[in-house]
Amino acid sequence: GAVVSQHPSRVICKSGTSVKIECRSLDFQATTMFWYRQFPKQSLMLMATSNEGSKATYEQGVEKDKFLINHASLTLSTLTVTSAHPEDSSFYICSAMARTSGNEQFFGPGTRLTVL
Amino acid sequence: QQPVQSPQAVILREGEDAVINCSSSKALYSVHWYRQKHGEAPVFLMILLKGGEQKGHEKISASFNEKKQQSSLYLTASQLSYSGTYFCGTPRGSQGNLIFGKGTKLSVKP
């Protein structure tokens, strides 16, 4: 149980285009999902908290208009990187929080974004 | 406040033991441990919810000392598959979001 999928796993795009990343909890419902960004050999940096049916909560320094998050259902959250630039190239990982006493988070496999 | 992990890196031979520490300057109510292999997403190992709690998974166990505001992850008789970067995460806020330490890179050699 507790499987989270992420699509696509890799994407290469041209500068100025938009890229959508999907995060799905496959066998449980997740009212809360999280989006992280990770640079090589560094820790996970929380970008935003996504709640089903409401606006996402963004971390300080993360541009809301650039990283659009939509949590349309209890099993799906999407992150859209708008007008992507090379500095947006990174490993993006989502996680879904299980409704348990400990609020365990289960991570998707990640999406490697490369902006040319 | 980001939790502090130590050591930053450790190299082991198969069968050796290791301890990874995670400490916080703020009060801890829970600690989450994850392992991440290169190019992959972190995998949940265990969560410790209250002071003094200890948990184990195969030959990986952890303790949580609420008073000292720290948790330790114990890897005994390490296997090659234990190689990876270990992160501890501590809650920040009421939504369940976690702040992760910088990670400890564990390399197990044959």
Instruction: Say how many residues make up chain B.
Output: 110
Residue A20 is predicted with a pLDDT of: 97
Instruction: Give A32-53 pLDDT, tens digit per residue.
Output: 999 999 998 899 999 999 888 8
Instruction: Give B73-91 pLDDT, tens digit per residue.
Output: 999 999 999 999 999 999 8
Chain A positions with Cβ closer than 8 Å to B: 2, 6, 32, 34, 42-44, 46, 49, 51, 57, 93, 97, 101-110
Residue A82 is predicted with a pLDDT of: 96
Contact state of B87 with A103 under an 8 Å Cβ cutoff = no
Q: Give chain B's residues under pLDDT 50.
A: none
Whether residue B8 contacts residue B20, with contact meaning beta carbons closer than 8 Å, is answered with no
Tokens of B82: 């234990």
Question: Quick one: CA dihedral B66, B72, B74, B80, positive or negative?
Answer: positive
Residue A80 is predicted with a pLDDT of: 97
Cβ-based contacts of A106 with chain B (< 8 Å): 44
Grade residue A101 by pLDDT with cuts at 50, 70 and 90: low
* Mean pLDDT, residues A1-19: 93
Going by the DSSP 8-state scheme, the letter that residue A75 receives in this structure is: T
